[in-house]
A and B are shown apart, each in its own frame.
Chain A
């Protein structure tokens, strides 16, 4: 069975949930093989094997992390040439998609982005894609080269399936072109204890209706009572009430949690584009006509400053 390469998303070896989802999906179309770029594979290897990685390719040279996107594309291009995989899967993040963009040109291969499912069709890989912000579902194939597919987080639950996890070192000599854009500084903004936005099972988002930076506290408290991540509309980010990484929408993050609670968000098309594949959608808004109610499985027409604290208190009470 041909391998399916899965690019591992990790922070110093802490593997992100989306990678386990991708390994799970890979099994439908071939033999999962993880591609680990950077340091920390010792911390990651057991987890990758537990979720089905027969092979773990490890590219661990210090300089791989010093440049934008291109080095990872070179590692993958080398593996594509050597292993002729059935497909290459990455998480559909901005970074992941750009890696695929470069890899596509290097390997003369087609790219499919924002996949929500994978299936095999007589040897060919078929991707289900969610396009136009989730309004249309298409099934597509790559017709030239190796299928390069960016998969949305939360598309499938990760299923453990123990595998060998054999480590294979990959040596890379970066081309001069890959070193053209050098990262000279990295700034990580504090995100605290909450789960990561794109990975969280529950997301509670605040919009302009929240009213101020301080008031984001009512959204945070509801989120914390549910163990949820906090998101925001662009209006909130533009006003400086919440950091930009929390923006959900067309130009923010795409989230697809089990539960999305939109508080004081009107539901502009650009916001909907980032959250409408959420399984269950709840809205709190004082305007009955707000378009967010068209999407909502459950809506409360009311002042979020009353509804959210009451809901938070009730949740804490029921949890005992």
Chain B
């Protein structure tokens, strides 16, 4: 089976994120990494192709620097990559992103499955996999922590607020995975060397048959009016437990009428 894995380069999770004051878009000038949730998607795809045969194509939309994230995915074992890269894409919102990704997926011949992480750690909207499914008119199986494929039948376990659902569909389909899916492998030295030679197809907006006004800031369906950092919390009181820490805690709760 042939699997497309959508990956995104994001600012390092551990760094403080901020908006660029001029463009009101995410400041990506710091350290960037492969979105951690996408590593679970790559691992899931690799395990599926190890069991059933086939290829894994990494698909990413992002600036030239996103090559690093793509290389990491290739060094984990994906076979090839498609990099949608165009200045016109800057400032895309979720509908724009899903449009470019959907167009790119449609160019990949004979794909059976599109797998994505269930959210990116920067924008955290979780809407792109659903939008992709809608655009591609494919079954949507999201927030999944277990995937079974049998021929063209797909069965997953979808995590919900109060437990889980078992969901069935047939291939091709769009899946998004949660981090309780698997344990992503580390790229081996051999994998890192091999990744350098793997093909990366760079596509522009024109290659996708899109006009520049339909994506990027020009095509965005939402706009930020203003942004401000939340005032930092004023430092609270911290006490050492001297044997009465629990009682001191309840005294504090009582001042807030919680007790």
Interface residues of A (CB under 8 A from B): 68-70, 73, 93-95, 97-102, 104-106, 108-114, 126, 130-145, 177, 180-189, 191, 198, 202, 226, 237-238, 244-245, 250-251, 253, 258-259, 269-270, 273, 280-282, 284, 288, 293-303, 306-315, 318-319
Check A137–B142 contact: CB distance below 8 A.
no
A143 to B217, CA, bound (A): 11
Query: For residue B123, which residues in chain A have a CB less than 8 angstroms away from its CB?
Result: 131
Q: B162 touches which one: A104, A188, A202 (CB < 8 A)?
A: A188
Residue of A at shortest CB range from B235?
A: A294
Query: For residue A237, which residues in chain B have a CB less than 8 angstroms away from its CB?
Result: 180
Which residues of B232-259 are within 8 A (CB) of A?
Answer: 233, 235-241, 244-250, 252-254, 256, 258-259
Give chain B nearest CB distance to A136 CB in angstroms. Answer: 5
Known A135-B229, A313-B246; contact A94-B161, beta-carbon cutoff 8 A: yes
Interface residues of B (CB under 8 A from A): 13-14, 16-19, 24, 37, 93-95, 98, 118-119, 121, 123-131, 133-135, 137-143, 155, 158-169, 173, 178-180, 220-230, 233, 235-241, 244-250, 252-254, 256, 258-259
Check B159–A137 contact: CB distance below 8 A.
no
A186 to B161, CA, bound (A): 12
Number of A-B contacts (CB under 8 A): 278
Query: For residue B24, which residues in chain A have a CB less than 8 angstroms away from its CB?
Result: 138
Q: A299 touches which one: B95, B222, B226, B238 (CB < 8 A)?
A: B238
Check B256–A280 contact: CB distance below 8 A.
yes
Check A187–B256 contact: CB distance below 8 A.
no
Q: A104 touches which one: B94, B139, B227 (CB < 8 A)?
A: B94
Query: For residue A313, which residues in chain B have a CB less than 8 angstroms away from its CB?
Result: 246
Would you give 20 A-B contacts (Cβ < 8 Å), ordered by A? A73-B134, A94-B161, A102-B133, A104-B221, A109-B221, A110-B93, A111-B127, A133-B124, A184-B166, A186-B165, A226-B259, A245-B162, A251-B178, A251-B179, A270-B13, A296-B238, A299-B236, A310-B245, A314-B250, A318-B250
Check B227–A113 contact: CB distance below 8 A.
no
Check A202–B160 contact: CB distance below 8 A.
no
Query: For residue A308, which residues in chain B have a CB less than 8 angstroms away from its CB?
Result: 246
Give chain A nearest CB distance to B240 CB in angstroms. Answer: 5
Check A295–B161 contact: CB distance below 8 A.
no
A47 to B8, CA, bound (A): 43
A283 to B22, CA, bound (A): 37
Q: B95 touches which one: A111, A114, A138 (CB < 8 A)?
A: A111
Q: A136 touches which one: B130, B227, B239, B254 (CB < 8 A)?
A: B227
A126 to B225, CA, bound (A): 9
Give chain B nearest CB distance to A190 CB in angstroms. Answer: 9
Known A141-B223, A269-B14; contact A299-B130, beta-carbon cutoff 8 A: no
A73 to B130, CA, bound (A): 11
Query: For residue B180, which residues in chain A have a CB less than 8 angstroms away from its CB?
Result: 237-238, 244
Check A307–B250 contact: CB distance below 8 A.
no
Q: A297 touches which one: B168, B179, B236, B259 (CB < 8 A)?
A: B236
Check A307–B239 contact: CB distance below 8 A.
no
Known A135-B17, A181-B141, A191-B162; contact A258-B220, beta-carbon cutoff 8 A: no
Check A68–B259 contact: CB distance below 8 A.
no
Known A182-B167, A282-B252; contact A135-B238, beta-carbon cutoff 8 A: no
Known A306-B241, A309-B246; contact A259-B253, beta-carbon cutoff 8 A: yes
Check A298–B252 contact: CB distance below 8 A.
yes
Query: For residue B220, which residues in chain A have a CB less than 8 angstroms away from its CB?
Result: 110, 143
A75 to B28, CA, bound (A): 38
Query: For residue A198, which residues in chain B have a CB less than 8 angstroms away from its CB?
Result: 161
Known A245-B161, A300-B248; contact A101-B19, beta-carbon cutoff 8 A: no
Check B236–A105 contact: CB distance below 8 A.
no
Check B169–A135 contact: CB distance below 8 A.
no
Give chain B nearest CB distance to A282 CB in angstroms. Answer: 7
Known A105-B95, A314-B246; contact A95-B14, beta-carbon cutoff 8 A: no
Query: For residue A300, which residues in chain B have a CB less than 8 angstroms away from its CB?
Result: 238-241, 245-246, 248-249
Residue of B at shortest CB range from A253?
A: B161
Check A136–B165 contact: CB distance below 8 A.
no
Check B94–A187 contact: CB distance below 8 A.
no
Query: For residue A315, which residues in chain B have a CB less than 8 angstroms away from its CB?
Result: 250, 253, 259
Give chain A nearest CB distance to B36 CB in angstroms. Answer: 9
Check A307–B241 contact: CB distance below 8 A.
yes
